[in-house]
Amino acid sequence: MKHSTFLLFTLPSLSVMFLFIAIPIVSVFIQSLHIEHKQVIIVSENCDPFGCETTTSVDTEASTKLKEKAPLGKFNGFKTYSNRMHFAFDEIGEAWNSSDSFIAFVKKIYNYPLYRALSFTLTYTFVVTPFVLFLGFLVALGVNNLPKLLKGPTIFASLLPMIVTPLVGSLILFWMVDGDGVIGATLQKIFNDNSLSLKASPVLTWVMLMVYGIWHLMPFSFIVFYAGLQTVPHETIEAATIDGASKFQRTRHVVIPHLMPLAIFITLILLMDNFRVFEPIISFRAEAHATSISWLIWNHLRESAYPLYNAAGATSMITIFCVGILLLPVLIRTWRDFNEKNKG
Amino acid sequence: MFLKKLILGGLTALFFSSSLFAADCGPNGQSIRILASDFPAIHAIANSAESNCAGSASEFTRNHTTEARQIMNAAQTPDPAEYTSVIVANSTLVQLMNDGLVRPLNDLVEKYGGNLKSNQLITIDGKIMAIAFMANSQHMYYRTDILDKAGVDGMPATYDEIISAAEKIRSAGIMEHPLVMNLKVGWNVGEVFNTIYLAHGGEFFKQGSAEASINNAKGIAALETMKALVEYAHPDHLTQASDDTQGLWEAGQAAIGFMWGSRGGVILDNEGSSAEVTSNTVLSAAPTVTGGSIPGATLWWDGITIATNVSDSEAEATFAALVSGMTSEMVAANNDDAIWLIDGFKPGPAAAGVSATAQGGAKSYPMFAQMGLLHNALGAELVDFLKGSESAEQALSDVEAVYETAAKDAGYL
């Protein structure tokens, strides 16, 4: 294809990407460099049904004037990125100097929101992704070997976890693991411990969130692998059978290599999806034990009457950066494969 | 000519006589749009305003949502604003005032506020910014039958007495976790700290500045008290808010509760619980520290405001309609839905806790412009201490550091 034709072909999607992806990202980035103007605070006498007290309030007239002059806010450079809510460079330097062991240092780092969120987000991503890949493949193999009559209903049932809205799915599980719920009460009985609570223990909360994540995402990898399995060439399988390959050997040496490009595709999507884990944390009310990067963005914007756009913007940029790093190995590999194919 | 005069006179007479009986709704044909939270007392006020004045308004709409706090600033910023009135509480009034979204009501009160009592007027530097109609606060709930069974004399009035009562209930084998409190991570857990800190006589900010000052002996004492209480709370306490604690109480799984007064009516009614629980539930004042006198609670009011960014006649009609709803008849019909600040309120058993707490001299929820930021920091950073993975000093210094970062970004420091 000529380059100019290719360009014309992709022009619509490129311009949409520019409008709805590139421009917003740039605008978020610019916002992350600015903070609010200094609020003009006045001391005021405040009387309510219970008495009078001296408090403070914002002089809105003076504050509005400042805002009108520069609507973006006060330029703050990269200070939002380096402050305690994000990379906390100063605090970490201090922690490094004041800790006598590496473990003490790590413990201190864990005190800062971004690192705490990163530790859960990364653990979640690297535990859930391989499990989903592997289990999804197994389920696809299993379904593929079923008699025709059973295939339809089984596929439908296996897709259910993905069809259920994440918030609803995790809420159902949240009620089930409650001390009075089916799972929670059964566990208490098995371990003979009436105060055993999945919600109160950090480790069990992490496990619960990851099990939920695997349950919720498995149908995705299953259905992609299942579609892929339909394209495995019969001739090769037959040839392998004639050569005396066992079922396991056929899967290992014929099916898996055939599905490898799909596996890479699923890994890419799963890495991106899992890195943005958010809903289960809200539904499980797990904030005490597990926070994620996406949860941080939400928290900056929502939990306060004072939305911190700069902090949310900075966390968003960090998310994009981290997703980029996560995807880099896979992307490099794809690029190499592409180049090799072109050479051959 | 004579006929014309007669008709005119008759019409005037009709107009005056009808205005004697009907409520004064201000200018006719205006649009009245209300944003409010979603609980029975607020419905009662809005219902009564609607039945009085919807007829003379061109439009009367209401949006009741528990998410009101989250949308109000965005909804009120454009001109004209989305709503002509937002029904607020202490902290949400500050939220609107910070952006200049509510107008002073002095002239409207003069014109329409004949039946308002002076303690209903929320004034800031002499300007009336809201009209309160109900009060609320946290306080104690006790199950007298269980206290008796465990051998506790009378009702605990201090934190220490609560802790020893809880221990007695536990060691008598009646309940392993007799205490319920709203300790959900975020706003709720921060609010519990606020109440205990106020009981210890703490101040949130340095005098006349936005600098936080909670990392002190009183803050540490408050946290230690909180931890001692939490020992007796349900293991899932960090996930429990009002609905959950109310549920535990109604299911008879708790004997000592620190909950909102607005839940009193719902808990004491004959729905959702057994007679054993409701007949033995007694509401009493929030606890003090041993030897102290300030009840550990924050007093709240709910009230009406009028938007800045609407026309004067819309503002007038909205104010007149809402004030027309604040009558003793409305209170009589909805007596147990709230602790009304309006004439005609007869305090029942459901009001006992809030009245005792207010009379004991509890403090109002602090109305500092920057309080919300500190509250958020408390809600996020105290959890490590409650989980036992951090010292009280560390937790409080984390709170101050988080607050400082946020307050700088928001322009308060």
Domain boundaries, chain B: 23-135+300-349, 137-299+353-410
Mean pLDDT of the B322-349 span: 90
Distance between CA A274 and CA A292 in Å, rounded? 10
Architecture of B137-299+353-410 per CATH?
3-Layer(aba) Sandwich (3.40)
Whether CATH 3.40.190.10 fits B23-135+300-349? yes
Q: What is the pLDDT of residue A179?
A: 81
pLDDT, residue B7, reads 52
A26 assigned to some structural domain: no
Question: Can you tell me the distance from the alpha carbon of B15 to that of B56, in angstroms, rounded to the nearest whole number?
Answer: 13
CATH number for position A317 = 1.10.3720.10
Tokens of B169: 């209930």
Contacts of A118 (CB under 8 A, 6+ apart): A293, A322
Closest CA to B140 of B125, B158, B123, B126: B158
Whether the CB-CB separation of A128 and A274 falls below 8 Å is answered with: yes
Give me the pLDDT at residue B348, please: 87
Q: Name the token pair of A337.
A: 């494969």
Mean pLDDT by 10 residues, chain A (344 residues): 86 94 95 91 88 86 85 90 92 90 90 94 96 96 92 92 88 87 89 83 92 94 95 92 92 93 92 93 91 93 78 95 90 84 70
Chain B residue with minimum CA distance to A58: B98
| Residue B386 half-sphere exposure toward CB, CA atoms < 13 A | 32
Residue A30 included in any domain:
no
Same structural domain for residues A214 and A103? no
pLDDT of residue B224: 96
Are residues A136 and A99 part of one domain? no
Name the residue of chain B whose CA is nearest to A61's CA. Answer: B100
| Contact between chains at A84 and B405 (C-beta distance less than 8 A) | yes
Average pLDDT (B151-170) is 95
Q: What's CA B270's distance to the chain center, in Å? A: 24
Tell me which residue of A69, A83, A124, A81 sits closest to A295, measured CA to CA.
A124
| Cβ contact B91–A299 (<8 Å) | no
- CA B217/CA B215 separation, integer angstroms: 7
Summarize the confidence of residues B274-299 as an average pLDDT.
94
Among B26, B115, B140, B104, smallest CA distance to B341 is for B115
pLDDT, residue B12, reads: 47
Residues of chain B found within 8 Å of residue A80, distances taken between Cβ atoms: 409
Q: Do residue A174 and residue A221 come from a single domain?
A: yes
Distances (CA, A) of B71 to A160, A303, B255: 34, 12, 37
- Contact assignment for B367 to A55 by CB distance below 8 Å: yes
For residue A289, which residues of chain B lie inside 8 Å, CB to CB?
387
Confidence of residue B16 (pLDDT cuts 50, 70, 90): very low
Contact A200 B98 (CB under 8 A): no
Domain membership flag for residue A98: yes
The answer to whether residues A172 and A236 belong to one domain is: yes
Q: Which two tokens stand for residue B52?
A: 């009085």
Indicate the range of B161-165, B247-251, B266-270 predicted with least confidence. B266-270
CA distance B201 to B111: 41
Distance (Å) from the alpha carbon of A145 to chain B's nearest alpha carbon? 44
Cα(A138)–Cα(A125) distance, rounded to whole angstroms? 20
User: Which residues in chain B touch residue A200, judged by CB atoms under 8 angstroms apart?
Assistant: 235-238
Q: How confident is the model at residue B23 (pLDDT cuts 50, 70, 90)?
A: confident
State the nearest Cα–Cα gap between A256 and chain B, in angstroms: 44
Query: Chain B residues with CB inside 8 Å of A179's CB?
Result: 234-236
- Are A55 and B299 within 8 A, CB to CB? no
Domain B137-299+353-410 in the same topology as domain B23-135+300-349: yes
DSSP per position, A140-171: HHHHHTS-HHHHHHHHHHHHHHHHS-HHHHHH
Q: What is the mean pLDDT of chain B?
A: 90
Task: Select the more confidently predicted residue: A270 or B336.
Answer: A270
Give the pLDDT of residue B291.
92
Q: Give the number of domains in chain A.
A: 3
CA distance B18 to chain A (A): 34
pLDDT score for A216: 93
* Single residue among A45, A74, A103 that ends a domain in this structure: A74
* Residue in B78, B104, B103, B82 with CA at minimum distance from that of residue B36: B82
Q: Which residue in the set A51, A83, A288 is minimally distant from B405, CB to CB? A: A83
Per-residue pLDDT tens over the stretch B113-140:
888 988 899 999 999 999 999 999 999 9
Give B311's contacts (C-beta < 8 A, 6+ positions apart). B80
Tell me whether residue A289 is in a domain: yes
Query: How far from chain centre, in Å, is Cα A236?
Result: 39
Residue B11: predicted pLDDT = 47
CB of A87 within 8 A of CB of A95?
no
Cβ atoms within 10 Å, residue A53 = 15
Q: How confident is the model at residue B190 (pLDDT cuts 50, 70, 90)?
A: very high
Which residues constitute the domain of residue A170? 115-343
How far apart are alpha carbons B359 and A298 in whole angstroms?
Answer: 40
Considering the domain boundaries, does residue A102 fall inside one?
A: yes
| Amino acid B14: pLDDT | 44
**Quick one: A53 and A174 in the same domain?**
no
Cβ pair B409:A38 closer than 8 A: no
Based on the fold, state whether residues A97 and A157 are members of the same structural domain: no
A232 located within any domain: yes
Q: Are strands B85-89 and B298-304 parallel, antiparallel or unpaired?
A: antiparallel
Interchain contact, B120 vs A179, CB within 8 Å = no
pLDDT in tens, A100-137: 889 989 988 999 999 999 999 999 999 999 999 999 99
Please report, to the nearest 10 degrees, the dihedral formed by the alpha carbons of residues A115, A118, A124, A130 taken in order.
Answer: -120
> Per-residue pLDDT for B398 more than 70?
yes
Nearest chain B residue to A82 by CA distance is B405
Q: In terms of domains, do A97 and A123 share one?
A: no
Side chain identity, residue A82: S
Find the residue in B nearest to A88 (Cα): B405
Interval B320-331 mean pLDDT: 93
Does residue A229 sit in the same domain as residue A106? no
CB-CB neighbors (< 8 A) of A37 in chain B: 411
CB within 8 Å of A165: residues ≥ 6 apart = none
Task: Let me know whether A225 and A266 are in one domain.
Answer: yes
Considering A92, A111, A130, which residue would you say is the last residue of a domain?
A111
| Same domain? A85 vs A178 | no
A215 and A103 part of one domain: no
Q: What is the pLDDT of residue B265?
A: 86
Which residue of A38, A111, A194 is in closest CB contact with B176? A194
Q: Tell me the per-residue pLDDT of B96-113, one tens digit each, with 9 for 90 and over.
A: 998 899 999 999 999 998
Cα angle vertex A153, ends A150, A155, to 5°? 100
Residues of B in contact with A199 (CB under 8 A): 235-236, 238-239
Query: What integer pLDDT is reported at residue B24 of this predicted model?
Result: 85
Hey, which residues does A53 pair with through a beta bridge?
Answer: A46
Q: Is residue A39 part of a domain?
A: yes
Mutate to test the interface with A, among B409, B412, B413 (most CBs of A within 10 A): B409
Contact A84 B384 (CB under 8 A): no
Does residue A176 lie within any of the structural domains?
yes
Residue with token string 């709803």 = B325
More confident residue, B17 or A188: A188
CB contact under 8 A, A311 and B406: yes
